[in-house]
Amino acid sequence: MVGVRAHPGAAALLVKSVKKKDVELIKRLIDRLEHLSADSSYAHRASGLRGSLLRYVEGLDAGEAVSREERAQLDLLVEYGFEILEQAAKEVGA
């Protein structure tokens, strides 16, 4: 995502922007992942995931365009983040 410069003919490969509400959701997800207990077996995974998500959010906040591949990767990271939160919640309930 860093330094993505579109070739004029490659416009079809870029997603113009990520919706503001999606960025807000990602920021909330990052916050929730940050607040997992250090005792959780998911805390280490959450830490790495937060770093990846933060890099995307910083780029999006800076107005950088994202490729379709990057958007697909971001979607997978968000999905994984929610899976981690779900598993951590189950761990607390056990």
pLDDT band at 2 (very low <50, low <70, confident <90, very high): very low
* Burial per residue of 25-49, b for 16 or more beta-carbon CB atoms within 10 angstroms, e otherwise: ebeebbebbeebeeebebeebbeeb
What pLDDT was estimated at residue 16? Answer: 53
What pLDDT was estimated at residue 94? Answer: 60
State pLDDT tens for residues 42-74.
999 999 999 999 999 999 999 888 889 999 999
Whether the per-residue pLDDT at 38 is higher than 60: the answer is yes
> What separation in angstroms does the CA of 73 have from each of 19, 20, 24, 53?
16, 18, 17, 10
State pLDDT tens for residues 9-37.
444 444 556 788 999 999 999 999 999 98
What pLDDT was estimated at residue 1? Answer: 47
- pTM, to two decimals: 0.78
Average pLDDT over residues 70-86: 95
Please report, for the chain, the start and end positions of each structural domain, with discontinuous segments joined by +: 18-93
